[in-house]
Amino acid sequence: MEEIEIEPPNATVPVSDQYPEEIERIASDELTYAEFFNRYFRPNHPVIITSIAKDWECYNKWINRTENIPPTLDVAYLKARLPNVPVPVADCAKQYYNSHEKVELQLHDFLNTWACFENEETTQTELPTKRSRYYLKDWHLQSTVPEYCFYQTPRFFASDWLNEYLVETGADDYRFVYMGPKGTWTGFHADVFGSYSWSVNVFGQKLWYLLLPGEERKLLDSLNNLPFMITETLLHEVDAKFYTIRQRPGEAIFVPSGWYHQVQNVEDAISVNHNWFNGCNVGLIWRNLCDALRDVRREIDDCRDMDNFEEHCQLMLKASFGMDFEDFLTIIFYICDKRLASFLGGTKDRQFSTYELGKRHAEFDLKAIQHLLSGIVEGNHLAFCPDLFSNAMNWLNKVKSIEISFQSNDTV
């Protein structure tokens, strides 16, 4: 069991607020978790980490890397190894509002289109066309086949409150497999909730356009809408600051909270992706949630006098943002209880069954929770729901009662 730990509170750790000219590429064995935490998590900076997937089952078994021929997806192996379950597929030839139209295929049928094999539902003529536009996205393979250990969360990304809660409580998760042929792509967006994301290429190459925070506003149209698709030409026309990244097999990209990006498969490509948040960006997730609620209230302001207005706003918030205040705080309370038990009991929290959280890291998480809940309570954000306010006060007092001494440089 590997421990993930951070530097002592009094350690002098240089953290740069300046964005580099090019995103750093660092080998995984040349970067410790503590260094990653201080250099990229806390300042919310991107990085590319190489040699991540070399020991993964999906990297070594899904791809036929026979010498003297180009690597190819081993369709026969995957069809034999994985159940023929329904999978979500984006049709990159069809736009639906600000995303691609989604269809559902059986996994083996999708693999047939990838390999251009004939099957019962399509003709040989149709297959190459469908292959060029069908992109298997947001596939919850790990939760669908939990006993199949086809990858391991890299240690740098193991502090993950969102999936820690969802996986351990048997709820949905934000762990995905992406599989798309050359030319398929994901439109211009920031990740769900404004979360972090990591993406590891198992096979093929991807082209990323990654914009610095706030630069996306230069792309707003007269109606305050962002484009679905961007090009390098467009970004130069509006003088946006951005990175162009060519991601290679075995490399992980860490996408910071709130950074807009677009990704294209410039070769047939497969990746494993997570979205998540933790003590470093939980405050940003809360602010995004509050901003989304403000938008909902403004949208139905003419109904403010209706009964249960705030409850209705929370329902709309959950539908549009993906969670409401109660969902968010339920995650926070769960993590808080785990960290308190760890800190008071002298045990270590397990993360993804592979890592243990160090004591200083548990303290940092508790400080982040205290800071978050103090702001929520003092800002009177839960006035519409006395029970939720009472719960927030209860957990805030739990953290305060242990009287952890935090140094000023641990402020979240």
User: What pLDDT score does 6 carry?
Assistant: 94
Q: What is the pLDDT of residues 73-121, one digit of tens each?
A: 999 999 999 999 999 999 999 988 889 999 999 999 999 987 764 344 4
Q: Which amino acid is located at 138 in the chain?
A: D
Please give the C-alpha separations between residue 315 and each of 231, 249, 308, 318, 323, in angstroms, as whole numbers. Answer: 36, 41, 11, 5, 9
349: closest CA among 328, 34, 340, 371?
A: 340
User: What pLDDT score does 298 carry?
Assistant: 94
- All residues at 6 or more sequence positions from 118 whose CB lies less than 8 Å from its CB, including other chains: 112, 124, 127
User: What pLDDT score does 10 carry?
Assistant: 63
Q: How far apart are CA 110 and CA 123, in angstroms?
A: 14
Question: Mean pLDDT over residues 300-316, rounded?
Answer: 93
User: What pLDDT score does 116 carry?
Assistant: 62
DSSP E strand stretches across 171-238? 175-180, 185-189, 196-203, 206-211
User: What pLDDT score does 65 carry?
Assistant: 84
Phi, psi of 408 (to 5 degrees): -60, -30
User: What pLDDT score does 15 carry?
Assistant: 64
Better-scored residue on pLDDT, 278 or 129: 278
Where are the alpha helices (H) located in 213-306, listed in sequence order?
Answer: 232-237, 282-299
Percentage of the chain with pLDDT > 70?
Answer: 92
For residue 126 the two structure tokens come to: 């149709």
User: What pLDDT score does 295 carry?
Assistant: 96
Phi, psi of 407 (to 5 degrees): -85, 160
For residue 55 the two structure tokens come to: 């020991």
DSSP H or E run through 100: strand 99-106
Q: What is the pLDDT of residues 59-68, one digit of tens each?
A: 999 999 887 7
Q: What is the pLDDT of residues 15-41, one digit of tens each?
A: 667 888 899 999 999 999 999 999 999
> Do 73 and 63 contact (CB within 8 A), yes or no?
yes
| pLDDT over 50 at 407, yes or no | no
User: What pLDDT score does 14 carry?
Assistant: 59
For residue 287 the two structure tokens come to: 């602010």
| pLDDT over 70 at 128, yes or no | no
Q: How many CB atoms lie within 10 A of CB 126?
A: 12
> Do 107 and 87 contact (CB within 8 A), yes or no?
yes
| pLDDT over 70 at 280, yes or no | yes
3-state secondary structure of 185: strand
Greatest Cα pair distance in the chain: 72
| pLDDT over 80 at 319, yes or no | yes
| pLDDT over 60 at 218, yes or no | yes
Residue 203 forms beta bridges with which residues? Answer: 270
| pLDDT over 90 at 353, yes or no | no
3-state secondary structure of 172: coil
Domains, the chain, ordered by start? 2-276 (2.60.120.650), 281-401 (no CATH)
Whats the size of the chain, residue-wise? 412
Q: How far apart are CA 367 and CA 335, in angstroms?
A: 12
User: What pLDDT score does 57 carry?
Assistant: 97
173-197 exposure pattern, b = at least 16 Cβ within 10 A, e = fewer: bbbbbbbbbebbbbbbebbbbbbbb
Phi, psi of 168 (to 5 degrees): -70, -25
Q: How many CB atoms lie within 10 A of CB 118?
A: 12
Q: How far apart are CA 115 and CA 127, in angstroms?
A: 9
In this prediction, residue 9 has a pLDDT band, given cuts at 50, 70 and 90, of confident
In this prediction, residue 402 has a pLDDT band, given cuts at 50, 70 and 90, of confident
The DSSP bridge pattern shows strands 2-4 and 175-180 to be unpaired
User: What integer best gives the mean pLDDT of the chain?
Assistant: 91
> Do 159 and 4 contact (CB within 8 A), yes or no?
yes
| pLDDT over 50 at 44, yes or no | yes
Phi/psi region, residue 256 (left: phi>0; alpha: psi -120 to 50; beta: rest), is beta
For residue 157 the two structure tokens come to: 């990304």
In this prediction, residue 265 has a pLDDT band, given cuts at 50, 70 and 90, of very high
Question: Mean pLDDT over residues 375-393, rounded?
Answer: 95
User: What pLDDT score does 66 carry?
Assistant: 81
Percentage of the chain with pLDDT > 90?
Answer: 79
Please give the C-alpha separations between residue 41 and each of 108, 255, 263, 389, in angstroms, as whole numbers. Answer: 38, 10, 22, 30
User: What pLDDT score does 404 carry?
Assistant: 54
3-state secondary structure of 96: strand
Q: What is the pLDDT of residues 73-84, one digit of tens each?
A: 999 999 999 999
Q: How far apart are CA 263 and CA 185, in angstroms?
A: 6
Better-scored residue on pLDDT, 409 or 386: 386
